[in-house]
Structure 1
Amino acid sequence: MQALLFISKKIDALNEAIGQAISWALLAAVLICSGNALVRYGLNNSSNGWLEIQWYLFAAVFLLGSSYTLRRNEHVRIDVVTGRFSQRTQVWIDLFGFIFFLLPMVALILYLGIPYALHSIQSQEMSSNAGGLIVWPAKLLIPLGFLLMLLQGFSEIIKRVGFLRGLLDASAFEKQVVTPEDEIAAIKEANQIK
């Protein structure tokens, strides 16, 4: 189990690094979108290539960032229901969801997505829009993003099993973002210090 926990840490580190790096793609997409809008309305000039690069960047953020979101336990959940159960029961629910929903869905998308991307690469597919870009990098994001999701799904399963065996603390997979209540408390505390 220790070897699996080590692998899990490496997968987490990989998706953490990719998630941090891909966050810059969102900034690039916003800057390109703003610049394109200024040029289009200010100079009455534009290109489909600028629109398509925005779409590619947003696709990269979504597809490559989803495994980062899963790693940080920030995906959509039904905490209203599961929040009433003990932590062990919540971990069993997570395991059930990962094994019977996440992994089969990801495997199916990889099964269908890999040939889809390979065909696009082999044919050097181009956009049908005038001034459009090559399409295969965007299509390659699909299997790449779901491969990262598959790896992160395995990592989450390993961490949950490690927790159930008493080898890992729940902090290894709990949400890592500050809640609104925590932010309000921190603001109140900062105002009291002044």
Structure 2
Amino acid sequence: MTVLLAFSRAIDRVNEFIGRNVAWLILASVLISAGNAIMRKTFDISSNAWLEVQWYLYGTAFLLAAAYTLKRNEHVRIDFVSNMLSKRTRDWIDLICHFIFLLPFVLLITWLSIPWVTKSIRSGEISANAGGLILWPAKIMVAIGFTLLIFQTFSEIIKRFAIIIGRIPDETEHHDLPPEAEVMVATARQEAGK
């Protein structure tokens, strides 16, 4: 278990570094979008390349930050329902769902993306839009993003198992619900107990 936890920590460090640094791509995308809009409205000049750069940057940020989001336990879930369950039940649900649903999904998407990316690189695929950009850099981000997500999924499975058996504390457990939500959760737990 010690070796697996060290592997998990290494994955976490890599995805933490990437996740924190790709956030700047959103700012770049917004600035390019604003600049493009100003040029279009002021000088009636526009370019499909600038529009495509925007979605390349946004897509890259989204794909590369997905593993970081999973690491931070910030992915979408129904917190109201989840908070009514015991901590141990939530840990088991996370472990089982990561292993049965998330891992096969990310493995499948990554496996399917490899020939898709390879074909795009070999053909020198270019956007069909006038003045459009080459497409393989955007497509390769799908493969890279899902590969990072595969590794983070393994890390989460390792950590969740270690938490269940009591080897490590849960560092992602949130205790920052607003007071109204705490009251709602307590009321729901009382109602469920009746």
* TM-score, with length taken from structure 2: 0.88
Per-residue displacement from partner, 1:108-166 (whole Å, max 9, x unpaired)?
Answer: 11121111011101111111111111100000011111001110000000001111121
Give 2:57's aligned residue.
57
Give 2:2's aligned residue.
2
| Cα distance in 2, alignment partners of residues 69 and 26 from structure 1 | 15
Give 2:188's aligned residue.
none
| Cα distance in 2, alignment partners of residues 72 and 58 from structure 1 | 20
Give 1:74's aligned residue.
74
Give 1:156's aligned residue.
156
Once superposed, which parts of structure 1, at least 4 consecutive aligned residues long, lie more than 4 Å away? none
* Pair 1:180–1:168, CA change in 2 (3 A): closer
Give 1:189's aligned residue.
none
Shift of 1:45: 0.4
Give 1:143's aligned residue.
143
Alignment of 1:12-161 (within 5 A): 12-161=12-161
Residue identity (%): 50
Give 1:187's aligned residue.
none
Matched, 1:181 2:165: no
Q: What secondary structure, in the 3-state scheme, does the structure 2 residue paired with 1:96 have?
A: helix
Q: What secondary structure, in the 3-state scheme, does the structure 2 residue paired with 1:35 have?
A: helix
Shift of 1:179: 4.6
Shift of 1:22: 0.5
Per-residue displacement from partner, 1:68-110 (whole Å, max 9, x unpaired)?
Answer: 1101000011222221222111100001110111001111111
* Pair 1:46–1:180, CA change in 2 (3 A): farther
Q: How many residues in Structure 1 have an aligned counterpart in Structure 2?
A: 179
| Cα distance in 2, alignment partners of residues 167 and 134 from structure 1 | 48
Contact 1:72/1:174 (<8 A) preserved = no
| Cα distance in 1, alignment partners of residues 68 and 29 from structure 2 | 19
RMSD: 1.5
Q: What secondary structure, in the 3-state scheme, does the structure 1 residue paired with 2:178 have?
A: helix
Shift of 1:174: 2.8
Q: What secondary structure, in the 3-state scheme, does the structure 2 residue paired with 1:24 have?
A: helix
- Which amino acid letter does the alignment assign opposite residue 181 of structure 1? P
- Which amino acid letter does the alignment assign opposite residue 28 of structure 1? A
Give 5+ residue unaligned stretches, structure 1. 183-194
